[in-house]
Amino acid sequence: MIVRFFHQMGSPRYFYGVAGKMIPWFMVGFLVTLLLGIYYGLFVAPADYQQGESYRIMYIHVPAAWMSMFIYVVMAVSGLISLVWRIKMTEVMVISSATVGASFTFLALATGSLWGKPMWGTWWVWDARLTAELLLLFLYLGIIALHSAIEDKRVAARAVSILALVGVVNIPIIHYSVEWWNTLHQPASVTKLGKPSMDMSMLAPLLIMAISFKLYYGAVVLMRARAEIVERERNSRWVMEMVEQEAK
């Protein structure tokens, strides 16, 4: 049954319909968790013993940074499947994820910079963590540029998948940079073995925000994938029929 589900999801027409039904659910989930997370993060969670109120920017920064890596891994896995099995839908997933991923990477860099000025005393330093994350932003931008430079969508998807797979080596480097080298950026508080170095009252809103960002990604990637499907299949019968129905 699971196999059948994946087979059906591999068909652009079926995917288009299912995605259309799923988007509102993702959106509702995103808004509810976002409001909850912001409320608990900004009003309920206590101030930090060292940083005072400034630490609250992490409720945007940390989930955004997690998402920047998570989306890249999704792209690389989709790219692998596209290259080996030549499935159209995973090709669509690779390119639909790129812009959301780039936005989250930018958000992580920008919020980190805003926090760095008062806390560290500088907007930017070239330490291993910050540089590797900046490289990730360039990888995303490179993928977007490469995709739009090639006319044929299937050729473009193959090129982009290879670039995504080459860049995946950067993901462990970002994660472990704070352990392998001396960096100004602090080591991981949550994504490590053992107990998180964060009080539960502060951690709970962070996890809610992380779920919220994931749901947002789900909604946006499905919207972009639907748009991409319609563009790719614009000459097929089902798209034409759908457009005619809409016109009536």
Partner 1 sequence: MNPIRKKRLILIGLMVAGVGVAAWLTLNAFSDNLMYFFSPSEVAEGKAPTAHPFRIGGLVETNSVKRKSDGLTSAFSVTDNAEAVTVEYTGILPDLFREGQGIVAMGQLNQDGIFIASEVLAKHDENYMPPEVADSLKTAHDKAVNKTQSQAGLQ
Question: Which residues here bind partner 1, judged by CB under 8 A?
Answer: 46-51, 54-55, 58, 80, 83-85, 118-122, 125, 127-128, 162, 165-166, 168-170, 173, 180-184, 186-189, 197-199, 201-203
Query: DSSP for 17-66?
Result: HHHHHHHHHHHHHHHHHHHHHHHIIIIISPPBTTTBGGGGGHHHHHHHHH
CB of 61 to partner 1, least distance (A): 12
CB of 198 to partner 1, least distance (A): 4
CB of 6 to partner 1, least distance (A): 16
**Angle, vertex CA 62, rays to CA 19 and CA 220, nearest 5:** 15
Give SS3 for 144: helix
Distance between first and last Cα of the chain: 37
Length of the chain: 248
CB of 20 to partner 1, least distance (A): 31
43 or 49: whose CB is closer to partner 1?
49
